[in-house]
Amino acid sequence: MIRISRRTLLQITGFGAACVAMVPRIAFAARNSLLSLRTGVQPGGRTRLVIETESRPSYSLSYPENQLVVTVSNMPANSGIKPTLASGTLIKNVSQVQSGDRLQIVADLRKPIAEIQKSQIMILEPNGDNGYRLVLDFMAGTSAATVAASASVNAGETKTSSSRKYTIVIDAGHGGKDPGCIGKGGTKEKTVVLSVAKKLKTKLDADGFKTYLTRSDDIYLKLADRAAIGEKRHADLFISLHANANPSRTMKGFSVYTLSEKASDEEAQKLAETENAADKIDVNGFEQFSKDIRIALSSLQQHAVAEMSEEYATACVRAFRRAGIDQQPGANVRHAPFAVLRSSVPSALIELGHLSNAGEEKLLKSDAHQTKLVNAIVRSIKNYDFDV
């Protein structure tokens, strides 16, 4: 079985640590070395393969018949490393095959597997006893994509190696009896965000994404039902669109949030209270969610989802800034317990701007500015690396 130190366990189970700093993916020129190979069984009967390396591994996956091959760049074979194989896994044997300056870790499988999803792969940072650990979880089963499937950490390669359509669920906040916030000029949040959501869907569809709206009309939907649509559609990304209000009418700018048990600041806490209010969900009622989700997901997956959400949110902020859209002062990406983000799908909530600010209310209503917002979101999605 896989040995995980207590410290690592804390690192990967703390959902509060959702706000993990993203480590840039750098292709290290320095030679990597293999430290250990192990397999284990995870709850739900999933097989885990752990490849421990000296430096952050740059890797790609391939799926020849009855094998899973993890190719790590710039690493020599190490005959001194014998794999520790747990019983009851899908892996019969693990061997090392040198291929130029790359090392292929070849796992012989008892049964075929489908392409391993991004949410099932993670790289753990080194701690006391361990180096970097590339962790892959998978189950038996095939899909049409299996044979030719190949995922890679290099963003440039993923686009060509995977022709799968990514699924985006777009959630226009509020609706029906719940108008959201209302500007001084009478502009309703529910109307602005629905308009932006529809424009976003049209653009993403044209770009080859598979998209779903949680609502396409002025209807009221519970927050949990919105999140459930993301799950049901097996979304790769869930984006919830909102507009903000602030007691200070001079406050303006967009902000991007990811889910966290604890709000990053008082303002984020207040905002989550406001956004959750329609369903009378207590911001502090996170416990039940945590319990439900923890049953459904391994801590590893939770961590992966949080990391991916953070990564998308960061890409989103960057795209908005590049488009010259005003950002609300404060943290780059913020965190708060938004009910609508509570799922196993990587997700972010975008406050597109402040309806409480007269200038921004005018902008948010305008077709030109809505298009500008949509283009920035499309850009952020294109820059997001879905495959790892």
- Site residues (CB under 5 A) for Zn ion? 173, 180, 242, 275
Question: Measured from the CB atom, is 274 or 299 closer to Zn ion?
Answer: 274
Write the CB contacts of 23 (distance below 8 Å, at least 6 apart in sequence): 56, 125
- Tell me how far, at minimum, the Cβ of 242 lies from Zn ion, in Å: 3
Write the CB contacts of 83 (distance below 8 Å, at least 6 apart in sequence): 37, 38, 39, 93, 94
- Tell me how far, at minimum, the Cβ of 275 lies from Zn ion, in Å: 5
- Tell me how far, at minimum, the Cβ of 180 lies from Zn ion, in Å: 4
- Tell me how far, at minimum, the Cβ of 349 lies from Zn ion, in Å: 8
Question: Measured from the CB atom, is 70 or 193 closer to Zn ion?
Answer: 193
Tell the burial category of 387 from Cβ atoms under 10 Å away from its Cβ (0-12, 13-18, 19+).
Answer: buried
Write the CB contacts of 251 (distance below 8 Å, at least 6 apart in sequence): 328, 354, 356, 357
Question: Measured from the CB atom, is 49 or 271 closer to Zn ion?
Answer: 271
Which amino acid would we find at residue 244? N
> Nearest Cα to 131, choosing from 306, 45, 5?
5
Rounded CA-CA distance 120/53 in Å is 19
Q: Which residue is nearest to Zn ion (CB)?
A: 242
- Tell me how far, at minimum, the Cβ of 339 lies from Zn ion, in Å: 12
Q: Please, are residues 53 and 34 in contact by the beta-carbon 8 Å criterion? A: yes
Rounded CA-CA distance 248/251 in Å is 6
Question: Measured from the CB atom, is 133 or 242 closer to Zn ion?
Answer: 242
Question: Measured from the CB atom, is 103 or 245 closer to Zn ion?
Answer: 245
Write the CB contacts of 26 (distance below 8 Å, at least 6 apart in sequence): 56
Give the CA dihedral 349, 354, 355, 361, nearest 10 degrees.
Answer: -120
- Tell me how far, at minimum, the Cβ of 218 lies from Zn ion, in Å: 15
- Tell me how far, at minimum, the Cβ of 189 lies from Zn ion, in Å: 5
Question: Measured from the CB atom, is 122 or 169 closer to Zn ion?
Answer: 169
- Tell me how far, at minimum, the Cβ of 129 lies from Zn ion, in Å: 45
Question: Measured from the CB atom, is 48 or 335 closer to Zn ion?
Answer: 335
- Tell me how far, at minimum, the Cβ of 178 lies from Zn ion, in Å: 9
Question: Measured from the CB atom, is 40 or 180 closer to Zn ion?
Answer: 180
Question: Measured from the CB atom, is 6 or 280 closer to Zn ion?
Answer: 280
Rounded CA-CA distance 319/200 in Å is 15
Q: Please, are residues 36 and 135 in contact by the beta-carbon 8 Å criterion? A: no
